Amino acid sequence: MKKEDYMNMMEQVKYVYFLMQVSKLGNTRIKNILNRLPQSYDFFNCSQSDLRKIEGIDHNISAQIIESRKNRNTIEAQAEEFIGDAEKRKINIVSVMDDRYPENLKKIFDAPVLLYCKGKLDSTDKYSLSIVGTRNPTEYGKYSCEKFTEKLCELGIPVISGFARGIDSIVHNVCLKNDNLTYAVFGCGADIIYPSENRKLYFELIERGAVISEFPIGSKPEKVNFPRRNRIISGISLGSLIIESGIKGGSLLTAEFAIDQDKEVFAVPGYINSKQSEGTNDLIKRGHAKLVTNIDDILEELEVKLKPVLKKDAAAKEEKLVEGLNESEKIIFVSLNYEPVHIDSINETTGLSISDCLVNLLSLEFKGLVRQTPGKNFMKI
């Protein structure tokens, strides 16, 4: 990153930090100010009447803002110290105005105006899915989690979770094993490893993904923080998959946030006598989540939104398959698609004789790449 770009981003952070020190200015009002007055020089030069034109800023709040400007130098010095501390700990502070800020998260109500990130954010997170679940999964839950996460990894779809014991930890471990992008959203500071037994996972994750938090550096894992962080898990992703949850499980909060954010919600059904499946079964029963038993059930709902990433993945897979074929097999395989094509058309497209086409098509069929359908038609599998 160019030094000039970094300095501009830190100026944005200082501006947001200043606004965060004003009483009664939460995420939503700060975003309204930033949308109306995106540059700090606009904000510090505007009048009280200009401020009152911004949604959510009444006479009392605008008066507080004007009063806070008297402490501008002090607050900016605090902001510089705040940024310096983050730099020492190798934590990136990303403002809602920053291009690195997750695209889907920007659109939700009450999106955090500052994120603390350890690791690296990637723009492909806009194609992500979140997976959350109980801290005490059954063997069935573990199997289901591994199965769905592996399938998403195969498709190159980033996966978001909450770094908790149980399902969340399985999600991150499977993603790292498959070299797939994953974010862990914390209910404490991004520098605090919680739970402590996930120490090894933490360091692996920040090397190949990112740890994200809206809570300042050093924030302890207070119980009240975790419900808030769930809106970020659902907010970053296109949809949320719930794998095993008790009737009052925290994962159900993620589902509720996803519904409020107009995101897709999926749930894996469980045994009717299993406490770990009471929540997921109830979500399905009330029509708040789509019952899923395989990855196609998810893709059915999200295929249009995932098309850019799925298309790239399909092309990469096909390229890998073609590498192991002989020249005639390659020519024939590339000429086929996923709908039946008659042998005469294959002969005409490839320029190979009918007999050569049939021999190589049979070879491709043995390799599990092609299927013959009635009437001497052939298609990719």
Lowest mean pLDDT among 52-66, 103-117, 318-332: 318-332
Q: What's the CATH number where 351 sits?
A: 1.10.10.10
pLDDT at 70 over 60: yes
Whether residue 104 is contained in a domain is answered as no
Say which CATH number the domain at 62 has: 1.10.150
Total domains, the chain = 3
pLDDT higher than threshold 90 for residue 42: yes
Peptide bond into 216 cis (omega under 30): no
Mean pLDDT for 254-282 is 96
Residues in Cβ contact with 285 at an 8 Å cutoff, skipping those fewer than 6 apart? none
pTM for the complete prediction? 0.82
Please check whether residue 227 lies inside any domain of the structure. Answer: yes
Q: Which domain holds residue 72?
A: 3-87
Q: Are residues 353 and 285 in the same domain?
A: no
142 falls within a domain:
yes
pLDDT score recorded for residue 316: 64
pLDDT tens digits along 346-359: 999 999 999 999 99
| pLDDT at res. 193 | 98
- Largest interatomic CA distance in the chain: 87
**Is residue 76 in some structural domain?**
yes
The rounded distance, in Å, linking the Cα atoms of 307 and 301 is 11
Give mean pLDDT, residues 22-45.
94
Specify whether 144 is located in the same domain as 73: no
Show which of 271, 302, 333 is a domain's final residue.
Answer: 302
CA pair distance 180, 168, nearest whole angstrom: 15
Whether residue 217 is found in the same domain as residue 295: yes
Q: In this structure, are 225 and 371 located in the same domain?
A: no
**Does any domain span residue 233?**
yes
Tell me what percent of the residues of the chain surpass a pLDDT of 90: 86
Identify whether 24 is part of a domain.
Answer: yes
Residue 311 covered by a domain: no
Classify residue 274: in a domain, yes or no: yes
Same-domain status, 214 and 252: yes
Name 310's Cβ contacts closer than 8 Å, sequence gap at least 6: 155, 156, 299, 303
